[in-house]
Amino acid sequence: MRLIACIFLPFSLGYYLAYLFRTINGLIASHLNADAGLRIADLGLLTSVYFLVFASAQIPIGVLLDRYGPRRIQSALLLVAAAGAGLFAMSTDFPALLLGRAMIGLGVAASLTAGLKAIVLWFPKERVALMNGYMVMLGSLGAVTATAPAEQLLAWISWRQLFVLLAAVTGATAALIYVLVPDRAIALPTSPSHSTLKDVFRDGRFWRIAPLSATCIGSAWSLQGLWASSWLTEVEGLDRANLVQQLFIMSVVLSGGAWLFGTGLHLIRRRRIRAETVLVAAAVLLIAAELVLILRAPLPSIMPWSTIAIVGAATVVSFAVISDYFPTELVGRANGALNVLHFGWAFQAQYVTGLILEHWSTNDGQRPVMAYQIAFGLNVAVQIVALAWFALPWMRSLIRWPGSSPLSMPVTTFDGIQPEIMNKQTALLMPVDDDAQW
């Protein structure tokens, strides 16, 4: 209970604020358009710059977390986020809004990885996936707050006053983490280690899973954070009350999805089922949900949009895989490297979607469905390529050993090369049965 109160909950609060800042623009988009006269491409850039700055900061933040620990890094950066929220509240033109949003993105850039690093340092290894799931679940309540609760606040105060309030809460959270979290020395390996970030980028397992994780999770963040609101109003024709209600449901589903992923991973690992299988299942669900939207299948829109929201919580799975791939002293940098791709793709998907939609003129405030179909279809195409890339070794094995099941095939490297002809230090072996070793 002391670990939960002094470590888990403070870092979960920081991640809660990151999620709130990430998704709040979808709710206040109409207010921003009215006050600053933003075009839809400007709105896409303003919202997505959060992801760009967030992604750019991940690798240096990962190094700093491994070196100085999560307490100092998280508390210092949250002060930057508080200053950014204050600037955003006072801004009257697009450049100032963009700078404030960028400062927010930088300030919350360590919220997830700092929490993950703290869990790895303080909690037993067998509990890491479960605690990761709980942290993402609590953090994603920020997305819930950015819907109906924030809408209720906006009935009493302006969006600028809301950001002043967020700035105060963020500053208080920074102080709480600095004062409450104990300053534990970073866990060092029992033998000298010269592991660096290069070891992460040279690992074939990382490059096999990273594109799939990034294109799926990043797209889910992009869609829920901004374009779900536009789709529901322009394509589905929802009014403000129904829009907020559906965004609220999506956010609750996101939070439940994080709990489901964390608990599910904790259970399936006892049955020796690999976490990568769960990530593939999430990717297939996301692609199917997006195709339902693109093809305008006769289903309630809440079903595909809730599926997209659930996949946004699949970071629980990705980071559980990463914690298995790398030693403790590299976890911060490995998580940061993966987060670069997550948020980098989220920025690209969110901004490019806005550029594509800008090519169509509005008719009574609405764009044609084809504009959204093309923009969303581009995301799906990239996700299918990433899924095929991840499955390539398995498909090669099926071709090489026809009639054999994947569980009975010989152990091979990711490139299909037999391990005995490779250098032992560079061979990256994939376990294909219960007794296989990396």
Q: In the 3-class helix/strand/coil scheme, how is 232-249 assigned residue by residue?
A: HHHCCCCCHHHHHHHHHH
| Tokens describing residue 186 | 């970073």
| Cα-Cα end-to-end distance for the chain | 36
Please report, for residues 110, 141, 167, 302, the alpha-carbon distance to residue 17 in angstroms, rounded to integers and kept in the order given.
12, 9, 10, 25
In this structure, are residues 56 and 337 in contact, taking their beta carbons and an 8 Å threshold? no
Residue 202 lies in a domain: yes
Rounded Cα distance between 49 and 54, Å, is 8
Instruction: Using CA atoms of 405, 407, 408, 412 in order, give the dihedral in degrees to the nearest 10.
Output: 110
CATH number, domain with residue 264:
1.20.1250.20
| pLDDT score, position 414 | 39
Question: Is residue 148, in this structure, part of any structural domain at all?
Answer: yes
Given this model, what pLDDT does residue 402 score?
Answer: 54
- Is residue 429 a part of any domain in this protein? no
Return per-residue pLDDT of the chain as tens, 438 residues: 888 888 889 999 999 999 899 888 878 887 887 777 777 778 888 888 888 898 888 888 878 887 888 889 999 999 999 999 999 999 888 889 999 999 999 999 999 888 888 888 888 777 777 787 788 888 888 888 988 888 899 889 999 999 999 999 999 999 999 988 876 654 444 444 556 778 888 888 899 999 999 999 999 988 987 788 889 988 888 888 888 889 889 888 888 887 788 777 777 777 777 888 889 999 999 999 999 999 999 899 899 999 999 998 888 888 888 878 888 777 777 877 888 899 889 888 888 888 898 888 767 667 888 999 999 999 999 999 999 999 888 777 767 655 544 444 443 333 433 333 334 333 333 444 444 343
Instruction: Confirm whether 418 is domain-assigned.
Output: no
In eight-state DSSP terms, residue 225 is I
Per-residue confidence (pLDDT) for residue 419, from 0 to 100: 38
Number of domain units in the chain: 1
What is the dihedral sign for C-alpha 380, 386, 390, 391? positive
Per-residue b or e along 336-349, where b marks 16 or more CB atoms closer than 10 Å to that residue's CB: bbbbbbbbbbbbbb
pLDDT score for 37: 74
C-alpha 343/C-alpha 53 separation (Å) is 9
Identify the DSSP state of 420: G
Instruction: Tell me which residue of 53, 436, 55 sits closest to 274, measured CA to CA.
Output: 436
DSSP class of residue 95 equals H
Q: Is residue 132 part of a domain?
A: yes
In a domain, 92, yes or no: yes
Instruction: Compute the distance between CA of residue 359 and CA of residue 41 in angstroms, rounded to an integer.
Output: 10
Alpha-carbon distance 384 to 390, whole Å?
10
Handedness of CA 351, 357, 358, 362 (dihedral sign): negative
Say whether 387 sits in a helix, a strand or coil.
helix
- Give residue 254's pLDDT: 85
- The dihedral over CA atoms of 29, 32, 36, 39, expressed in degrees to the nearest 10, equals 0
Report the predicted TM-score, pTM, of the whole model to 2 decimal places. Answer: 0.70
In a domain, 109, yes or no: yes
CB 324 within 8 A of CB 438: no
CA distance 20 to 28: 12
Which domain, by its residues, includes 21?
A: 2-180+197-400
